[in-house]
Structure 1
Amino acid sequence: MERGSVSINFVRKAVAALERRGRPANSVLTRSGIDVSRLDDDRHRVPAAQFSRLWLLISALLDDEFFALDSRRMKRGSFATMSRYTIQAGNLREAARRATTFVNLLLDDAQARLNIVGGTASLCVQTRADAGLPDPIFAQETLLIMLQGLLCWAIGRRIPIEQASFAYPRPSWWDEYQLMYCGELAFSAPQTALSFDAGQLDVPIVQNEDSILAFLAQAPGNIILKYKDSTGCAVRIRRHLRHTPIERWPVFEHLATDMHLTASTLRRRLEREGTSYREIKDSLRREVAVSRLIDSQDTLAQVATAVGFAEPSAFHRAFRQWTGVRPGDYRRTHARRGGREPLRPKGHTAAE
């Protein structure tokens, strides 16, 4: 994720696995470094490393790497075996088929498959409606996280997701999915799936037995965050823009020159990393906008200016495209989650 953290909603869902088995959760949270007192704070986030430790501790206690979400356990060591089996493929197409086949052998009630229709490939997951699972939504979320993280690592780059669809109504933490997957989200869809350009299926597998030991040593933290090349162009650009006032962000051609690359070379490298300059800028603008809407007393016009929009109407359109809701509605919703009234400076009215 962009900031290397996880919504507290996923922590609550994870510890529910312990509670269903009559195991105390507070001691496991403490051992993971997670503040138990913040468990009911919907706005709280935990570092991915802490959630990773929590996942490992729960897996060890239950001998189940799938949070006891299926009638069959995903015994410890299953993910490592699936990873080794997956990287024996030649390209992403075969790797996805291997990974989904392995999942379907392990689990009874949660299943996965690769669909290809025309120029679109979809990594699909589903749960049996008649299985009586304790949390079918979390089961689908967890399976997607596992598969996407493994496959991104296998090809050595992020898979650029064009749309993420979910076969359930929009949950309260829906905006988290924009950090996890992409900006194009669809809820109450026919199936839960991550859709991407089918041309990506020909990308070769770059990992092998020499690199898998380091990958497994860092799991599941590295599948929570997905694959991220710390030396890649996208990371370098984000780092540069975060330390540059928005009004001084360079145009793409000047940025390429500063990086000692041609514009076409930089564009190709960003495409290989599954992103673009516009997506990077939008992601950073969204971060600033969300932070100011929730934690500041800025008016909406001031927030618009802070994220580089001369006209508030343009900011409203962009924010709705990023999140699916209007900025004022976003502020009110998240203020309610935090247990307080929306922050309103002097002269600010509900109509604004």
Structure 2
Amino acid sequence: MRHLVTTPTTTPTPKRPRDPRPLRAPAAAPPAPRTPRGRDNERGTIAGDLVEEALRCAERRGVERTGLLALAGIQPAALAAPLARVSAAQYGRLWSAVADALDDEFFGQDNHPMRRGSFALLCHAALGSRDGAQALNRIAGFLRLVLDDLQCKIDIDPTRVRIRLADTGTETRSPRPMFVYATAFIMIYGLLCWLVGRRIPVLAAHLRCPEPAMSDEYRLMFCDAMFFDQPASYVDLAPDCVALPVVQTAATLKVFLREAPANFIVKYRNPDSLAARIRRKLRQSPPVDWPDSEAVATALNMAEATLRRRLKQEGATYQSIRDALRRDLAIARLADTTQTIAEIAHALGFAEPSAFHRAFRKWTGVRPAAYRGMHTGVDPDA
């Protein structure tokens, strides 16, 4: 993961060995600008509750949130809504800022800190694997070296590949918070998917912790089949992932690390997947002109049933792609343009502004005008 420097400096420390981390931000970096429409927005958005989880990890170690939010380019007021969302790029910057502030890429959630640069070394260790099975075992072995309280174990059989997230020495005590298991899974799964160049279907997830309030958001990261208050924590992947060859190289690793973790923090997206092709196709035309699934299938030279089946294998549906893209376009337009709300509603294909208002409140918990005010500092009722 790349990291952002939280303490400004004017000159580099002499004779310091080269840091194995990916690229660092310039010292005394100003607050990042709002994310523009386009490439970053294609990666989706993250619930404000997950932002709060990351901030709490820092606050427990004495790091206040104001500076972290500034580095991430997140306005504090934007987190006030019950269903607030930020871009994956913003959350990725926050993730890196917290890791930098704590010198711990596991956010202080283990007795042994995962020092800065550990994820980059993990990537290098797994890069030389021949296939998914060897990559998973190398990932698990590396994490056993850098974490004390959470142990990753790989169990492979013909029906599934199980990633066990064992609370070392505490299986009979209280379970860890959900964010601990999610942090580990995001790193393991995101790296594995990148190594083999595709999104691997997640079959089921069993967690020891109680069901969190934001369980729907975690289901986006894991899968729909999530079960809580379980005897043990593990995630099952589709079994064919172990035979997939590792397709990445040292050259592609540089790009991956430069863009991590925003490039896999929602869920790894294979740029060559069917879902990605459909997203790119939809973005080429205004939402009012988006075709139905039958027309998309025809344009892609496949039967509609084939399109549905292949999207299901990738953990998506055509309607979910449309809905998520329309939501993210709405968020970006409100934050980054001066278009009126009526103009945005029309551009997104809503017949009436009132329909857009209802949809946006469902997505974020606030009115479009209120959301815009959170990002611009302008009171919508003034």
Aligned to 1:174: 215
* SS of alignment partner, residue 54 of structure 2: helix
Which of residues 83, 100, 105 in structure 1 aligns to 2:140?
Answer: 100
The 5 A counterparts of 1:27-176 are 27-128=67-168, 130=170, 136-176=177-217
Pairwise CA distance, 1:109: 0.3
Among 316, 320, 333, which residue is 1:283 paired with?
Answer: 320
Instruction: Give distance in 1, aligned partners of 2:273 and 2:322.
Output: 20
1:214 pairs, out of 255, 260, 264, with 255
Counterpart amino acid of 2:89? A
Change (3 A) 1:22 1:97: same
Task: Name the SS for the 1:42 alignment partner.
Answer: coil
Structure 1 residue 76: Cα displacement: 0.6
Which protein, 1 or 2, shows the higher relative CO under an 8 Å CA cutoff with sep ≥ 6?
A: 2
Residues 238 and 217 of structure 1: CA distance in aligned 2, closer, same or farther (over 3 Å): closer
- Cα distance in 2 for partners of 1:265, 1:37 equals 44
Give the C-alpha shift of residue 15 in structure 1: 1.4
Per the TM alignment, residue 117 of structure 1 is displaced from its structure 2 partner at its CA by 3.6
Q: Corresponding residue for 2:292?
A: 249
Which of 48, 54, 57 aligns to 1:14? It is 54
Per-residue deviation, 1:23: 2.1
Matched position secondary structure for 2:234:
strand
Q: What is the SS of the residue equivalent to 2:263? A: helix
Change (3 A) 1:234 1:124: same
Please give the TM-score of this superposition, normalised by the length of structure 1. 0.71
- Looking at structure 2, the residues matched to 108 and 161 of structure 1 have their Cα atoms a distance apart, in angstroms, of 26
Check whether the contact 1:153–1:226 (CA below 8 A) recurs between aligned residues: no
CA distance in 2, matches of 1:22, 1:133: 24
Helix, strand or coil at the partner of 2:152: strand
Distance between the aligned counterparts of 2:249 and 2:136, measured in 1?
16
Q: Aligned partners of 2:253 and 2:192: how far apart in 1?
A: 13
Distance 1:289 1:256, change over 3 A: closer
1:231-265 CA-to-partner distances (Å, cap 9, x unmatched) read 532223245568667996243xx644322x34499
Give 1:47 deviation, angstroms: 0.8
| Deviates most, 187-196 or 231-240 | 231-240
- TM-score, normalised relative to structure 2: 0.66
Unpaired runs of at least 5, structure 1: 292-305, 307-330, 337-352
CA distance in structure 1 between the aligned counterparts of 2:217 and 2:126, rounded to whole angstroms: 28
Using the alignment, how far apart are the partners of 2:306 and 2:271 within structure 1? Answer: 16
Cα pair distance change 1:200/1:265, threshold 3 Å? farther
Q: Residues 171, 290 of structure 1: CA spacing in aligned structure 2 closer, same or farther, 3 A cutoff?
A: farther
Tell me the CA shift for residue 36 of structure 1.
Answer: 1.4
In 2, distance between residues paired with 1:57 and 1:133?
29
Question: Which deviates more from structure 2 when the two are superposed, residues 235-244 or residues 25-34?
Answer: 235-244
Write out aligned runs for 1:248-327 (5 A): 249-251=292-294, 255-259=296-300, 261-263=301-303, 270=310, 274-275=313-314, 279-284=316-321
**Using the alignment, how far apart are the partners of 1:285 and 1:255 within structure 2?**
12
Percent identity for Structure 1 against Structure 2 = 33
The runs of 5 or more residues in structure 2 that have no matched partner are 1-40, 329-349, 351-361, 367-382
Q: Is the 8 A contact 1:241 1:249 kept in 2?
A: no
Shift in alpha-carbon separation, 1:290–1:61, aligned structure 2, 3 A? closer
Aligned equivalents of 1:49, 1:234: Cα separation in 2: 20
CA, structure 1 residues 222+115, in 2 after alignment: closer, same or farther (shift >3 Å)? same
Amino acid at match of 1:280: T
Counterpart residue type for residue 249 of structure 1? D
Conserved 8 A contact 1:69-1:134: no
Query: What is residue 300 of structure 1 aligned with on the other side?
Result: none
**Given the alignment, which residue of 188, 191, 207 partners 2:232?**
191
Amino acid at match of 1:66: F
Whole-Å separation in 1 of the counterparts to 2:282 and 2:224: 20
Q: Is the 8 A contact 2:287 2:326 kept in 1?
A: no
Corresponding residue SS for 1:221: coil
